[in-house]
Amino acid sequence: MQTLLIERLGRRALIIGGYLLMSLWCVCFTLTLSFQKSSSWVPYLSMICIFAFILSFGLGPGGVTNILITELFTQPTRPAAYMIAGSVNWLSFFFISMLFPFIVVRPYCRTVTNVTELPFTDKPCRALIIFLTANNIQHTVHTVALRRGENRTPEFTKLNPMQKVPVMREDGFVLTESDAILKHLTAAHSVPDHWYPRQPQKRARVDEYTAWHHMNTRLHAAKVFITEVLTPRMTGQPVDDVRLQRALRDLDGTLDKLETMFLKDQDFLCGDDITLADLLAICELMQ
C-alpha cells in the first residue's frame, strides 16, 4: 500500500502531508489531555489522536524515509547505513520510553515547597503523606516529637495555636487540620478527580463521610488503640479489659455503620473509586 501511495502521490506530498497531519494530531492530543477531566468521553478522543498520529506516520514519513537510505548511500555502504539508522531509531525509542514517565509526572508537581509538620505515628499525618506521595506532590517533611512536647514550643504554637498536627506551610500560607489540608491539595495541584470529585453529589458524599469520620471512625479506633496499646506501654499497667471491651463494642458499631451507610455494595466508601474518605478511614483502621 505504501508503494502504491508513493507512486500515486509522490514522496514530497507524503512527507509534507504526513508531518502536517502528525502535527495536527499532536495539537489535538494536547487539547484533549488539557480537558480530559471535563467529560468522561474526552479520554477516548486522546486515544483516537494517538492512533491517528501513528497512522499518519505510517502512511507518510514512515514508509518514505526508509527508501531514502537506498538513494543516499552506495551499495557497499548501505548495510552499515541501515544498521546505524536502525540502532539510532531503536535507541531513541528506548530513551523516550525510559524518560516518558518523568515527562508525564513532573508537570503535575508544583515548584512550591510544601512543608508539613507531622509525626508518622499520627493517623491523619500518615494519610497526608500517602496522598502527597501517591500524587507526586513535592513536599518537605518536618517531624514533630509529640512525646517530647515539640508541638508545645513557641515556634510550633505560632504555626498552630491548637498545638496539633499536621500543619502545612506553603509559600507563607499556613493550614491546619488534615481534612482541610487534603482538600486544599486536591484544589491546588493537578491530582486525579476521584480523590475529591468535582461532581457536586459525589463531592457531597466525600464531605458527608469526612464530617462523620472524626467523631466516629477516628474516635472509636483511637479508643481501642489507646486502651490496648498506648496506655499499657506508657504506664506499665496491664490492659483494662472492661474499658477495652467497651471500646471494641463502640468500634464494632462504627464498623457496622461503615458497611451499611457508606460501603453498601460499593468497592469504596463513596463510590466506585478511592477518595479522601477511604484514605482517612484506612489509616485509622489499620492502626
* pLDDT confidence of residue 42: 84
* pLDDT confidence of residue 117: 54
Task: Compute the distance between CA of residue 57 and CA of residue 15 in angstroms, rounded to an integer.
Answer: 9
Is the bond preceding residue 61 a cis peptide, omega within 30 degrees? Answer: no
* pLDDT confidence of residue 269: 92
* pLDDT confidence of residue 112: 40
* pLDDT confidence of residue 37: 67
CA dihedral for 29, 30, 31, 32, sign (positive or negative): positive
Which phi and psi angles does 138 have, rounded to 5°? Answer: -65, 135
* pLDDT confidence of residue 106: 37
Q: Which helix (H) or strand (E) holds 13?
A: helix 11-34
Task: Compute the distance between CA of residue 139 and CA of residue 129 in angstroms, rounded to an integer.
Answer: 9
* pLDDT confidence of residue 105: 42
Nearest to 166 by CA among 190, 191, 139: 139
* pLDDT confidence of residue 86: 82
Domain with CATH 1.20.1050.10 in the chain: 193-285
Q: What burial letters (b/e) apply to 229-263, b meaning 16+ CB within 10 Å? A: eebeeeeeeeeeeeebeebeebbeebbeebeeebb
Residues (pLDDT < 50) of the chain are 105-113
Domain 114-188 CATH superfamily: Glutaredoxin (3.40.30.10)
Nearest to 128 by CA among 66, 190, 65, 175: 175
Those residues whose C-beta lies under 8 Å from the C-beta of residue 113, and which sit 6 or more positions away, are: 138, 139, 140, 170, 171
* pLDDT confidence of residue 199: 93
Fold observed for domain 193-285: Glutathione S-transferase Yfyf (Class Pi); Chain A, domain 2 (1.20.1050)
Domain with CATH 3.40.30.10 in the chain: 114-188
